[in-house]
């Protein structure tokens, strides 16, 4: 038996007026998803436990069968692992975004965050900004490491691994003052480095050139999601399956590596709507050919479109995932003559109206080539909820897939 798990990150949404009262999932032309869902077990699942923040680390851990309440220690340590960084016991890894702040205000606190990704700054540009930060603010206790695009890792020898930062994608369009680290809560050092970063970056040649091209600058860092050295059980030991993870996002790759899954990098995979869909499909097919029994394909595009309030691009990303990833991998699995199962679900919703994650249940389907069922005509939030099947704990969903 082969297992394909496809995660269109943040795909679930609300009904949108500009789409004629349909959600992006309902609007998207996705014949492969709809066909498989018509013969599958369909329902909704909560991947984020009550009381936890609806982040991708929590949700994807759950989908991979690891209880987030037990294993979640922040996303940045997992990203650090994917980046090849070695954490010591006294290290705290902190996620560091390059963000765009308005520049006309005199005080840092009065600025407004307009983009949590600095217009999806390129990795090469971001690397130059990382070097500038390290020259001015790096020391024996802290160092910033370059990740992918706007996502980077600050390694800091501090015990404040549970500091309650605000997620930048939650406050787009808002004045940042009330969301900054608080001196009274012990966040003074974090606040100082964030404010200092603005002075270093606002006139940096990279940002001057970006603005000249009509792009938003990465004129400040934003710290969030700290954590200590991560630990997860072996996926192979738990399920007896040789597993591969395919993602452009360090966080997802880090989860896979921590669970002793094979992580495959795909050239041209960007983490946004303009990614190498064909490359991800071919990587999944190759993984199966090379002996993988379980392949986990994560696609970030719908989530990024949700954060950027790009409704049409979110629809497009779903259509491209269906046509360029799900369809060819399904056709390959069918051609082998072996039994296989396919599970498709987003990790969490990212509504374009809100531009951030929500904790609502998400639709899922599990298709089995050996046991076709009577499912739903369209794979979307509404039809999945109408089946009445609700899985409260997302980390138990693997039991339905495998057992």
Asked if residue 103 has pLDDT above 80, the reply is yes
As a whole number of angstroms, the distance between CA 194 and CA 279 comes to 37
- Over residues 173-200, the mean pLDDT reads 96
Asked if residue 401 has pLDDT above 90, the reply is yes
Phi-psi region of 119 (alpha: psi -120 to 50; beta: other; left: phi over 0): left
Residues 284 and 246: beta-carbon distance below 8 Å: yes
Give the phi and the psi of residue 194 in degrees, each rounded to 5.
-65, -45
As a whole number of angstroms, the distance between CA 145 and CA 331 comes to 40
**51-72 burial by CB neighbour count: b if 16+ within 10 A, else e?**
eebbbbbbbbbbbbbbebeebb
**Cα 49 versus chain centre, distance:** 17
pLDDT tens track for 153-180: 999 999 999 899 999 999 999 999 999 9
pLDDT at 273: 85
Paired sense of beta strands 41-45 and 362-368, if any: antiparallel
- Over residues 8-37, the mean pLDDT reads 98
CATH superfamily of 2-72+232-402: Alkaline Phosphatase, subunit A (3.40.720.10)
Helices (H), 202-272: 205-212, 235-239, 250-258
pLDDT at 239: 98
Q: In 3-state terms, what secondary structure has residue 281?
A: helix
Asked if residue 194 has pLDDT above 80, the reply is yes
Query: What's the mean pLDDT when you consider all of the chain?
Result: 96
pLDDT tens track for 271-324: 788 889 999 999 999 999 999 999 999 999 999 999 999 999 999 999 999 999
pLDDT tens track for 336-360: 999 999 999 999 999 999 999 999 9
- Over residues 35-53, the mean pLDDT reads 96
- Over residues 86-113, the mean pLDDT reads 96
- Over residues 26-53, the mean pLDDT reads 97
Q: Domain-by-domain residue ranges, the chain?
A: 2-72+232-402, 92-227
Instruction: Give bridge partners of residue 343 from the DSSP assignment.
Output: 5, 366
Task: Please tell me which residue, 89 or 100, carries the higher pLDDT value.
Answer: 100
pLDDT tens track for 210-219: 999 999 999 9
Asked if residue 82 has pLDDT above 90, the reply is no
Q: Quick one: pLDDT band at residue 131, thresholds 50, 70, 90?
A: very high
Helix (H) or strand (E) holding 264: strand 262-264
DSSP 115-174: ETTTTT--HHHHHHHHHHHHHHH--SSEEEEEEETTEEEEEE--S-TT--PPPGGGSTTS
pLDDT tens track for 238-251: 999 999 999 998 88
């Amino acid at each position: 038996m082969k297992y394909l798990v496809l995660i269109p990150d943040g795909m679930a949404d609300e009904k949108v007026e500009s789409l004629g009262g349909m959600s992006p999932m309902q609007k998207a032309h996705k014949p492969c998803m709809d066909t498989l869902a018509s013969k599958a077990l369909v329902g909704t699942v909560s991947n984020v436990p009550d009381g936890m923040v609806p982040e991708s680390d929590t949700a994807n851990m759950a989908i991979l069968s690891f209880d987030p309440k037990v294993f979640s220690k922040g996303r940045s340590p997992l990203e650090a692992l994917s980046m090849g960084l070695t954490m010591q016991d006294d290290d705290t890894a902190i996620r560091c975004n390059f963000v765009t702040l308005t520049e006309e205000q005199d005080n840092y606190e009065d600025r407004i965050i307009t983009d949590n990704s600095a217009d999806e700054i390129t990795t090469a540009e971001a690397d130059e900004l990382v070097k500038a930060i390290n020259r001015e603010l790096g020391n024996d206790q802290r160092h910033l490491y370059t990740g992918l695009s706007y996502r980077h890792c600050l390694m800091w020898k501090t015990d404040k691994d549970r500091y309650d930062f605000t997620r930048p994608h939650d406050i787009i369009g808002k004045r940042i003052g009330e969301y900054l680290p608080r001196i009274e809560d012990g966040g003074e050092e974090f606040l100082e480095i964030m404010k200092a970063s603005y002075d270093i970056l606002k006139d940096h040649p990279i940002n001057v050139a970006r603005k000249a091209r009509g792009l938003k600058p990465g004129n400040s860092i934003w710290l969030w999601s700290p954590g200590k050295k991560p630990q997860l059980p072996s996926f192979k030991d738990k399920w007896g399956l040789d597993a591969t993870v395919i993602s452009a996002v360090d966080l997802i790759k880090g989860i896979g590596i921590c669970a002793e899954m094979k992580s495959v990098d795909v050239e041209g995979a960007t983490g946004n709507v303009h990614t190498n869909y064909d490359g991800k499909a071919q990587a999944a097919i190759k993984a199966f050919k090379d002996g993988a029994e379980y392949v986990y394909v994560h696609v970030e595009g719908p989530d990024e479109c949700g954060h950027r309030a790009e409704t049409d691009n979110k629809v497009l990303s779903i259509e491209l995932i269906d046509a360029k990833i799900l369809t060819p991998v399904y056709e390959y699995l069918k051609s082998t003559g072996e039994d296989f199962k396919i599970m498709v679900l987003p990790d969490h919703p990212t509504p374009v109206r809100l531009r951030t994650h929500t904790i609502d249940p998400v639709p899922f389907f599990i298709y089995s080539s050996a046991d076709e069922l009577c499912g739903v005509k369209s794979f979307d939030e509404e039809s999945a909820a109408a089946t009445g099947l609700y899985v409260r704990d997302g980390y138990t969903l693997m039991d339905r897939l495998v057992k």
